[in-house]
Chain A
Amino acid sequence: MKLQRTFAFSRRALLQFTHDRRTLAFILIMPLLMIVIFGYTFGGDVKNVAVEVVNQDTGPQEGTSPSLPSGLFLGKMLIKNFDEEAFSIHENMNITNARQKVHNGQAWAVIIFPANFTQEFLITLTTQQGVAHARVEIYLDASNPTISAAVIKTVTQSIQTTLKQLSMSLNETQMQTPISIDQTYAYGGSDTRFIDYFAPGVISFAIMMVTVMITIILFVNERRNGTLQRLLASPASEGEIVVGYALAFAVIGICQSIVVLIAAILLFNITIVGDIILALVVILLLAFGHQGLGILLSAGAKNEMQAVQFIPLVLFPSILLAGLFWPVESIPGYLQPLSYIIPLRYGIDAERSIMLRGWGIGEIWVDILVLILFALFTLSASVLLLKRKN
């Protein structure tokens, strides 16, 4: 393999993009757009859920417990402790009307504190019976699982906070919940946001998509225009052609990653704890492998129209099965093995481990190995494909 010749292929392809401004814009702005759009819209947490709150709590009856203030209104405290951002609260005294609003789709849930809410709580507390009598009733539109989960989570958190406040203000040990959770973080922290999780994924995804799409179209054109014929009738070897293009896409992949990383750091202040060089190595491997895949797919297409038809074929399995938005664990069990054959999965996994966990080659060597094998396979298959003659 002659280096001068190999670089000639890379240089020509890169020069082509400097003249084709729109394609250049696609290459650099598409991933940028993805991270900006997803970063702002896909906050991860549900906010401003419309809920109806019916607070009928009348507080404690006289003389229930001498050690407790008579002015305790537990319902009110819970409402105050709801996460301000999570709910958009409308207080309603009429249960029927509140339920009606859920039926009409004007609200997602009705949260009801019954008249004896505080009283029941105090009875349980003083008599130390094992059964909790104080009940919060929630009437829920569970057609959207994300929202209903958020409602339950907000109410539960509020209960925990309220109990903690009560026990602190009264110095009553018996009021503490029997089980408490102490969270410490192996990786990330309470301030890790969806965007931190998403950024490494979007970089990998953008590299994959741009590399596959542009390679398919470039090679369909090479075949149709006759330039490939000319090259195959030249002293250039098939290996030089494939490696030359692979190097061009490596340069493109690095540029894309840098643009996305800078945007993610400036706009969303994402934290990268790992080795950035290792992250770029993963990007290169992804670009190499998918470039080979693009050449292989281009052989199945007679024109650009047919080439474009391959794109959803590559795109959707990668979006859905590689853990880009949702973790692989959220895929139904019988489909999870499928994700192992999506190369992007290993790229995303490796990038996340590097950027969020700060892992090194020792921990992610399996991902790296799979990506190397994938690249070797597709690139050598591409060489064989170009060598094939009728």
Chain B
Amino acid sequence: MLGQVTFEQTIDTSTTIVEIQHLTKTFGKFTAVDALDLQVHKGEIYGLLGPNGSGKTTIIKMVCGLLRPTVGTVKIFGHSLPCKSIMNDIGYMPQETAIYFDNTVHENLCFFGEVYGLSKESLKKREQEMLQFVDLSQWRDALVSTLSGGMKHRLSLACALIHEPTLVFLDEPTVGVDPELRVTFWGYFEKMTQKGITVIITTHYMDEADHCTRVGLLRQGRLIADGRPSDLKRNTNTTSLEQAFLTLAGRNTL
């Protein structure tokens, strides 16, 4: 039996933040994302999980309005994309570091703050909060090119959060990040959800997915499972998400 495995959920679905319907993206003959249906609710950390090339980044780019879907719709806060006005409430951290290396930490934060239309006073306040949040206060006036890789990653996250978004897309934020920083990052993400921020995150580290409220397992552009990590493991009789994924992937190709 092919198709998506859904598990019973006891999650509050009253406030749907992101609603994806039948989302499909083809590049020529190649189907990168295949008829994806997905809902993400307020305050969730939703993890899009899958190996390289499974379509995670393509989904994020369509949800951010950077790619146009071949078929299907994306609704955010009830508005159909494309819609510029909702962008003020969205934070996006691309896969690349995506900050300006020839500017200082302070200049990067100010620039992105101004792009999101923050006033001078709130920018000042938010800059300090973000510098503390990612622990870069003492590097405020350092040129980004002189920072370590981990610091650059932290700044990139801070730039995505400077304008207090209520919905954040993080595209593989922990790729190429050392284990210690990965733990730190997941600490940040959990803090964010405590403030009611909804997070959609992509990763191919299965162990990270245990921190997610819900995960969607992707394989070759198709969502093969969607549910809470504990439910996924229980229903496949496995002890780790990695095994769960392999079991589900095996079922799917039968």
| CB of A30 to closest CB in B, whole Å | 19
Query: Taking the complex as formed, is B212 at the interface, i.e. its CB lies under 8 A from any CB of chain A?
Result: no
The answer to whether B97 and A226 have CB atoms under 8 Å apart is: yes
Contact A16 B103 (CB under 8 A): yes
Complex CA gap A390/B90 in Å reads: 21
Complex Cα gap A114–B87 (Å): 91
CA distance A19 to B84 in the complex (A): 33
B97, A231: Cβ atoms closer than 8 Å: no
Q: Counting CB contacts under 8 A, is A335 at the interface?
A: no
Q: Does B115 contact A (CB under 8 A)?
A: yes
Contacting pair A19 B97 (CB below 8 A): no
B202 at interface, CB cutoff 8 A = no
Contact of B85 among A8, A11, A235 (CB under 8 A): A235
Q: Which of B87-135 contact A (CB under 8 A)?
A: 87-88, 90, 92-104, 107, 110-112, 114-117
A236 pairs with B97, CB closer than 8 A = no
- List the B residue with the shortest CB-CB distance to A231: B115
B65 CB contacts on chain A under 8 angstroms:
232-233, 389
A contact patch SS: helix
B98 touches A227 (CB 8 A): yes
- Cβ-based interface call for A234 (8 A): yes
Rounded to whole Å, the gap between the CB of A275 and the closest CB of chain B is 36
Known: A231-B115, A235-B85, A390-B67. A12 touches B92 (CB 8 A): no
Encode contact with A along B68-80: 1 for CB under 8 Å, 0 otherwise: 1000000000000
Which residues from chain A contact B66 at a C-beta distance below 8 Å? 229, 232-233, 389
Are B96 and A5 in contact, CB atoms less than 8 angstroms apart? no
CB distance from B189 to the nearest CB of A (A): 18
Report if B151 contacts A (CB, 8 A): no
Known: A235-B85, A237-B84. A229 touches B94 (CB 8 A): yes
Assess the A235–B115 pair: CB atoms within 8 A: yes
Contact flag A235-B88 (CB < 8 Å), given A226-B97, A389-B66: yes
B206 within 8 A of A: no
**B114 pairs with A4, CB closer than 8 A:** yes
Partner of A235, one of B95, B98, B102, B116: B116
Contact A225 B117, CB 8 Å, known A233-B65, A234-B87, A390-B67: no
Name 26 A/B residue pairs within 8 A (Cβ), A-sorted.
Answer: A2-B117, A5-B117, A7-B114, A8-B110, A8-B111, A8-B114, A12-B111, A15-B104, A226-B95, A226-B98, A227-B99, A229-B61, A229-B64, A230-B93, A230-B94, A230-B112, A233-B64, A233-B65, A234-B87, A234-B92, A235-B84, A235-B88, A235-B117, A236-B115, A389-B66, A389-B68
B residues with a Cβ closer than 8 A to A are 27, 61, 64-68, 84-85, 87-88, 90, 92-104, 107, 110-112, 114-117, 143, 159-160, 169
- Residues of chain A touching chain B, judged by Cβ–Cβ distance below 8 Å, are 2, 4-5, 7-8, 11-12, 15-16, 19-20, 224-227, 229-237, 389-390
